[in-house]
Structure 1
Amino acid sequence: MEQTQLLEKVIIRAVLTVKTGLHIGGSSDYAPIGAVDSIFVRDPLTKQPVVPGSSVKGKMRTLLAKTRNEGNLGSSPDNDEEVVLRLFGSAQKNHILFSRLQFSDSFVKDTSVKQFSGLDTDTYLGEVKFENTINRATGVANPRQIERVPAGMQFDFQLVYNLENKEESGEDMEVLRDGFRLLQLDYLGGHGSRGYGRVAFSDFSVTRVDAHTGKAEPDKELASRFESASL
């Protein structure tokens, strides 16, 4: 179990904007007749859409692995390149490597709640997209309804980086910047090949918090580097 001294907590905040309808599936255990076939994840308290931190982490790691593992994604995340392993963690037997990145769930910004609450949406802060698949052999159609987060909705995004090695932190930040860039060129959630799930990150801010004193200072230079990855 590899452990190192924690020097700083680097808090990275941004605005996550949905560019095309986003679907990250939630539970459909109870589905009355006429209900949407596939709903999206909601906050159980507010019933508002949520972008799970696990979804962002998993997609960003996969994209980085695809570009950095010498063209070979590998059969296990434990075989990822060293910098990807230390950023996202590894659970290899007899060699547990704790993730330096801590992703949070992203919640809808208050401005978006006000904007979309005043619109005539299909569901609360959501839209319903009708999809249809055709059986090639029989020609029979299989219609379904998919709930999506509408384009234009914005979320408060937050990520925390554990600074444990100053010599490695520069490379870590460059790889993380690449992760933001790649994610914006790909998609989040399901049905990406149909145009779902395009997102954008903007308005980055970075705060460094000393792990020993608790002193917090903004890092405008690092925020600017992340902002340069925005598309």
Structure 2
Amino acid sequence: MEQTQLLAKVIIRAKLTVKTGLHIGVSNDYAPIGAVDHVFIRDPLTKQPVIPGSSVKGKMRTLLAKTRNGIGIGMSPDSDEEVVLRLFGSAKQGNILFSRLQFSDSFVSQNSVEQFFGLDTDTYLGEVKFENSINRATGIANPRQIERVPAGMQFDFQLVYNLESNEDFEEDMTVLQDGFRLLQLDYLGGHGSRGYGRVAFSDFYVKKIDVRTGKVELDKELAERFGRGCL
């Protein structure tokens, strides 16, 4: 297992705006008649929608692997390009790499809570999309209801980058910037081929914390760089 020294924590914050209805959740197999079949994930405390950090991390890694590996995503994440491995981690036997990126769950911003609370939404801070799947052989429709995070809702996004090598920093940030750009060209959650889950990042804020001294430095140049790379 490769051992590295932690030099600093780089905290990256941004606004994540939902551009088209977003669904991250599971099917409700025991929903009563007339209830929503597919609900989205909610914070158990506030009952507000939440975007899991694992969803953003997994999608960003997959998109970077598809564009950088040369052979696509491959049979295993352990075959990803070296820079992708050190950013997202690897459990390959004999060469374990801890992820340099730590994604947090994203919660609805206070402004969005206030904005959408006063609207006539189908569920608390959510909308319900009615859809039909048609059996090609019989022509019979199978209706379903999918709960979505409405377009326009904003989330407070944050990830932490472990700075372990000054020599790698520039390349790591360039690849991470590509990850944000690619994610905006794709989608989060399910049903993306039908237009769900388009998102946008804005208002980046970056600060670096020296783990030995506790000194905090704002990195406005890096924040502007991330912003320029976004749509």
**Distance in 2 (alpha carbons) for counterparts of 1:164 and 1:31:** 48
User: How far 1:72 moved relative to its partner?
Assistant: 2.4
**Distance in 1 (alpha carbons) for counterparts of 2:132 and 2:184:** 27
User: How far 1:26 moved relative to its partner?
Assistant: 4.1
Task: Identify the range of structure 1 (29-38 vs 159-168) with the bigger mean alpha-carbon deviation.
Answer: 29-38
User: Following superposition of structure 1 onto structure 2, how do residues 133-172 of structure 1 map, counting pairs within 5 Å?
Assistant: 133-172=133-172
Deviations 1:104-133 (A, max 9, x none): 000000000000000000000000000111
Unaligned runs of 5+ in 1: none
TM-score, normalising length from structure 1? 0.98
Over the matched positions of the two proteins, sequence identity in percent amounts to: 81
Moved over 6 A (4+): none
Task: Identify the range of structure 1 (155-164 vs 70-79) with the bigger mean alpha-carbon deviation.
Answer: 70-79
User: How far 1:34 moved relative to its partner?
Assistant: 1.7
| Alignment-derived partner of residue 229 in structure 2 | 229
**Distance in 2 (alpha carbons) for counterparts of 1:3 and 1:169:** 17
| Alignment-derived partner of residue 132 in structure 1 | 132
**Distance in 2 (alpha carbons) for counterparts of 1:182 and 1:118:** 34
User: Following superposition of structure 1 onto structure 2, how do residues 188-199 of structure 1 map, counting pairs within 5 Å?
Assistant: 188-199=188-199
CA RMSD of aligned residues (A): 0.9
**Distance in 2 (alpha carbons) for counterparts of 1:173 and 1:72:** 22
User: Following superposition of structure 1 onto structure 2, how do residues 8-157 of structure 1 map, counting pairs within 5 Å?
Assistant: 8-26=8-26, 28=28, 30-157=30-157
**Distance in 2 (alpha carbons) for counterparts of 1:84 and 1:40:** 29
User: How far 1:209 moved relative to its partner?
Assistant: 0.2
Unaligned runs of 5+ in 2: none
- 2:127/2:149 contact within 8 Å kept: yes
Deviations 1:60-116 (A, max 9, x none): 000000000013220000000000000000001121100000000000000000000
Give the AA of the match of 1:77: P
Q: How many residues align?
A: 231
